[in-house]
Amino acid sequence: VTARKAQNWCSEKTNIPHFETSAKDGVNVEKAFETVARNALVREKENDITP
């Protein structure tokens, strides 16, 4: 998949962050994981309906 195609797909899906990563070289793996985890926590707080 080309970077452009991946970026377009992410943009179409409600602006999902796009990262080019390499587990082999350790490039952007931590940053991508932290971003996904942070976004999940934010969404969890937004959807929390506990009184």
Please answer whether residues 47 and 38 qualify as being in contact, where contact means their C-beta atoms are separated by less than 8 angstroms.
no
The pTM assigned to this predicted structure is 0.68
Confidence at residue 47, expressed as pLDDT on a 0 to 100 scale: 80
pLDDT tens for each residue of 1-51: 899 999 999 999 887 899 999 999 999 999 999 999 998 899 888 887 665
Q: How far apart are the first and last CA of the chain?
A: 45
